[in-house]
Amino acid sequence: MGFIFDRKLTFHQHVDFYANKSILTVKCMKIIGSSNCGINPFQKCLLYRMCILPIALYGFQLWFYKSVPMSYYLKTLGKMQRRAAIWILGAFKMSPSYGIKAIAGLVPIYLHLLKLGGRSQLCTNKLLPSHLIRSLIESCLNSNSCFDAVSLNSLTNRQCMLVKGHLIDLANRFNECLPSFDPLNPELSSGL
C-alpha cells in the first residue's frame, strides 16, 4: 500500500520518502511555469493543494496523533512547504519562511494536519455499528461481540494513558461528539 515501516515505528523513512517525492513534484512544476503563457500564483497554489499536499501527507494518520513527538515530521514537511511557497510566489530563497507562506496563502503544515486529522477521526461516526473499528471503540456495542477482549474498554485508565495512537485519539474524539440532530423529533414541533 506504500507505507514504509521501520523497526521502531517512527515513520521517519515514510515521511522522508513522501516529502522528498513532493519536493521533486514541486521542482517538476517549475516546468509548467516556464511555458509561453505561464501560470499565475493562484493556479500554482491550486496545483500545490491538489497535487503536492496529497503526496506529502499520504498515510499521515499512521504517525500523526496526540502525544507523538512531531518535530522531525514538521521540519521535513516544513521544508517542502517552504519550497512550494517560493515556487508559488517566485520569491528569493533568502525570503523569510513565515512571510512567504502567509503571502502565498498556505496554511501552516501543523494546523493543516490538525484539521485533516480531526476530519478523518470524525468519519468514524458514519461507520455502521457492526464495523470493526466501532466495535473496538464503543463500550456497549453488543454483549456478544467477539472483540471484547481486545477492545479499548478492556484497558485500565493507566494503560489508556500509556498507549499512544490513532485509535485512542479516535476513541476520545468519538466520545466528545454530540448526539445527532433529529429534525422529526416531536419535541421540536411548534408549541413545545
Summarize pLDDT for 44-100 with one digit per residue, the tens. Answer: 888 888 888 988 888 887 778 776 778 888 888 888 899 888 888 887 888 887 888
Tell me the three-class secondary structure of 114-134, residue by residue: HHHHHHHHHHHHHCCCCCHHH
Q: Is pLDDT of 132 > 60?
A: yes
pLDDT of residue 189: 73
C-alpha cell at 37: 503563457
162-171 long-range contacts, CB within 8 A, separation 24+: 164/65, 164/66, 164/67, 164/68, 165/65, 166/61, 166/62, 166/64, 166/65, 166/121, 167/133, 167/136, 167/137, 168/65, 168/66, 169/65, 169/66, 169/117, 169/121, 170/121, 170/124, 170/133, 170/137, 171/137
C-alpha cell at 80: 517542502
Higher pLDDT, 18 or 163: 18
- From residue 5, give the alpha-carbon distance in Å to each of 9, 15, 63, 82: 6, 10, 11, 26
Q: Using alpha carbons only, give the angle 112, 114, 115 rounded to the nearest 5 degrees.
A: 65
pLDDT of residue 13: 84
C-alpha cell at 40: 499565475
Angle between helices 12-33 and 71-89 (to 10 degrees): 0
C-alpha cell at 71: 518535530
Summarize the confidence of residues 18-35 as an average pLDDT: 80
pLDDT of residue 140: 41
pLDDT of residue 155: 66
Grid cell 477492545 is found at: 151
pLDDT for 177-190, tens place per residue? 545 555 666 776 77
Residue 180: exposure state from Cβ atoms within 10 A (0-12, 13-18, ≥19): exposed
C-alpha cell at 128: 455502521
Which helix (H) or strand (E) segment holds residue 113: the answer is helix 109-122
